[in-house]
Amino acid sequence: MAKSQKIAPSIGGGCTPVVSRRHLLQIGGLGLAGLSLPRLLQAEAESVDIPPQADACILIFLNGGPSHLDMWDMKPDQAEGIRGEFSPIATSVPDVQFSNMLPRSAQWMHEATLVRSMHHSVNNAHAAAVYCSLTGHDRGEIGGGAKPDDYPAPGSVMAMLRPSDRSIVPQVTLPYITKEGAKGPPQPGFFGGFIGRGYDPLFVLKDPNQANFSIPELTLLADVSNTRLDSRRDLFRRLDDTVGKTVNDRGVIGMNDFQQKAFDLLSSKATQAAFQIADEPATVRDSYGRNIYGQSVLLARRLLEAGTRMVTLSWAPDANATWDTHGNNFNKLKNTLLPQFDAAYASLLDDLKQRGMLERTIVAVLGDFGRSPKVNANAGRDHWNHCYSVLMAGGGFRRGYVHGASDAIGAFASRAPLIPGDIIATIYRLLGVQHNRMIHDLLGRPHRLVPSGNVTNELIA
C-alpha cells in the first residue's frame, strides 16, 4: 500500500479512499460529495433509550479462526491427536483452566466471561464467518468482499446511534483492512454497509511499533494555521448553505455533519494526543509487546481514554496469515500468536483496571470460528464452526463466569449453545442500544439491528 494510503477515512467502503497530505482539499470534497450523495453521508440518528452499562468497547478480532482447544477449552484427557501439545493451567477462577501458553490472561479470568458453546453455519469462507461474527448476520457460505448492502459493523452502529460527546474520531479500525486471502477483497463486517460509507471507521494502517509512527494526516500542515482552518470552515458552511437553499434537500442544508467532524478532527488536540504513543513509558509499551498487534492494543486504550467510542483490531493482514493454522498449529501458537495475544490482552485489562476504566469498557475477544478437534497430517487444525469460544471482560459482563460447555472433544456445544448474534446483541445492550430496534438503509428500508440473536442475560452482571 502506498504512503498516501496509510490512513483511510470513513468515507470509503470496500476500496477505501484515503486522506493524503492535501487533506484540507479533501475535506472540501466532502461537501461536494454531499451535494450528489447526501443520503450516503447523513443517515438520521435515532435516540438511545437503554441506560448503558458501558461507554466504550475494544473489540479484538482474532481473524482466521483461533484454536479454542489450545487456548481456553482444553481437553487434556483425550488422545494425543486431539488434546494437542499444550498443558492446562489454573486461572484466577477455581476449576477454570487455560492453556499454559496464556499465563497472564489466566490471572484475569476473575474479571471475564468465557463462552465455550459458540456455533454458526459457516465453515469454509472466512469472509462469511467474519461477517457473521461481527454483525450477527449469518447468511451461510456466501463469501466475497465487503458490499454496500452488508449489515454495518458494531463501530458504525455506535457512531450513528451513540456518537462520542467529545471532539475525537468516533470509531477506529486497525492495524489492517483484512483481506480475504493475500490478494482478495476486504472482508465484510468492518464497514458502514447499508447505513452508508459516512459511517465507515477511520482505518489506521500504520504500525504503531515503528519508531517513526505518526499520523501526519491529522496534523495541520505548516502553512495552515488554525485561523486559516476556521476561514475554510466558514467558506464551506456558506457554500453548503447556499446550495442547500437552491436544491431544497435536507441532506445539504447547513454544513454537513461529517465535514464538520473532519474539521474538528484536524483541530482536535485530543485526537492528536491520542496517537502520540511514544509518550507512553517504555515499561508500559514493553508489557503490551513490541509488535504491531501489542502496540495497536495499546493505541486502542489511548483512543478510548481520549473519547473514542469503539476500536476494532483485526489480527491479520489477510484471512490466512495468522490464526488460520491449517499447518504447524502448535509452533505458530507457541512461538508467536499466543505470547503476543497474552501480553496484549493482560496488559490492556491491567491498564484499564488501574485507570478505573474497566467497569465502563467492554473488551471482547472474538474470532470467525474455532479449530477442529482432530490434528491433521500437517500438525494443524482445520476450520471448525460447530463449537468454539469467545471471551469478554469489563463493561457489565459477569466476572469469573463460564457460559455453556463443549462435549468431550470440543466438537459440539453440549450445554447452553450461543450464536454470534447473541454476543453482538449483548454487547449492544451493554452499550445502551436495543439489539432488536430498526435501523434504516440509504433507501429508507427498515432492518432489525441484529437480524438473528438476542441478549443473553446470563452474561450480564
Span 132-151, average pLDDT: 96
- Smallest Cα–Cα separation from 296: which of 322, 261, 269, 267? 322
- Of residues 3 and 275, more confidently modeled: 275
Is residue 23 scored above 90 in pLDDT?
Answer: no
Cβ-count burial 89-113 (b if 16+ within 10 Å, e if not): eebbbeebbbbebbebbbbbbebbb
Q: Give the pLDDT band (50/70/90) at residue 259.
A: low
Residues 449, 418: Cα–Cα separation, whole Å: 18
Q: Is the pLDDT of residue 31 over 50?
A: no
Q: Does residue 200 have a pLDDT over 80? A: yes
Higher per-residue pLDDT: 339 or 34: 339
**pLDDT: is 271 or 113 the higher one?**
113
345 pLDDT exceeds 60?
Answer: yes
Assigned CATH for 43-215+275-459 = 3.40.720.10
Question: Which stretch of 13-27, 113-127, 218-232, 375-389 has the lowest confidence by average pLDDT?
Answer: 13-27
Residue of 49 and 285 predicted with greater confidence? 285
Domain residue extents for the chain: 43-215+275-459
pLDDT attached to residue 227: 62
Pick from 205, 229, 158: nearest CA to 449: 158
Q: What is d(CA 358, CA 56) in angstroms, rounded to the nearest whole number?
A: 10
- At 171, the amino acid letter reads Q
Q: What is the CA 111 to chain-centroid distance, rounded?
A: 20
Residue 379 has pLDDT above 70, yes or no: yes
**What would the mean pLDDT of 348-368 be, rounded to a whole number?**
98
Residue 244 confidence (pLDDT) above 60 = no
Mean pLDDT of the chain: 85
Question: Residue 348 gets which letter from DSSP?
Answer: H
> Is the pLDDT confidence value at 437 over 80?
yes
Angle (CA) 114-115-121 rounded to 5° is 150
- Give the range among 97-106, 184-193, 252-261 with minimum mean pLDDT: 252-261
pLDDT of 19 higher than 90: no
Local confidence band at 223 (pLDDT 50, 70, 90 cut-offs): very low
Cα–Cα distance for residue pair 372/154, rounded to 1 Å: 28
Cβ–Cβ < 8 Å for 101, 333: yes
Q: Is the pLDDT of residue 429 over 60?
A: yes
> What integer pLDDT is reported at residue 257 of this predicted model?
52
**Which of 8-22, 156-170, 264-278, 371-385 is predicted least confidently?**
8-22
Predicted confidence at residue 96, as pLDDT, reads 98
* Local confidence band at 36 (pLDDT 50, 70, 90 cut-offs): very low
Q: Which helix (H) or strand (E) holds 38?
A: helix 38-41
> Of 324, 387, 325, 322, which is closest to residue 84 (Cα–Cα)?
325
Find out whether the peptide bond into 175 is cis, omega within 30 degrees of 0. yes
DSSP characters for 249-285?
Answer: -TTTSSS-HHHHHHHHHHH-HHHHHHT-GGGS-HHHH
pLDDT higher than threshold 70 for residue 35:
no
User: Which residue bears the cell 469503539?
Assistant: 310
Query: How far lies 26's CA from each of 17, 40, 186, 374, 391, in Å?
Result: 10, 17, 23, 52, 40
DSSP helix/strand/coil, 218: helix
pTM of the full predicted structure? 0.84
Predicted confidence at residue 423, as pLDDT, reads: 98
Give the whole-angstrom CA distance, residue 120 versus residue 452: 11
pLDDT of amino acid 296: 98
- 3-state SS assignment for residue 415: strand
pLDDT of 246 strictly over 50: no
Query: Measuring CA to CA, how many Å separate 113 from each of 12, 110, 404, 458?
Result: 35, 8, 11, 10
Poorest-confidence range of 40-49, 87-96, 280-289, 290-299?
A: 40-49
Return phi, psi of residue 365, to 5°: -110, 105
Res. 270: pLDDT tops 90: no
Q: Name which of 445, 277, 405, 337 is nearest 60 in CA terms.
A: 337
pLDDT of residue 110: 98
Say how many CA atoms lie within 13 Å of 454 toward its Cβ.
4
pLDDT over threshold 80, residue 47: no
Confidence check: pLDDT of 422 > 50 = yes
**Is the distance from CB of 127 to CB of 144 less than 8 angstroms?**
yes
Cell numbers placing 383: 476450520
- Better-predicted residue by pLDDT, 114 or 219: 114
Q: State the cell numbers at 307.
A: 473519547
Residue 56 pLDDT level (bands cut at 50, 70, 90): very high
pLDDT attached to residue 39: 36
> Could you give the angle at the alpha carbon of 93 between the alpha carbons of 87 and 94, nearest 5°?
75
What is the pLDDT at residue 152?
A: 98
Of 10-14, 241-245, 435-439, give the range with the top mean pLDDT: 435-439
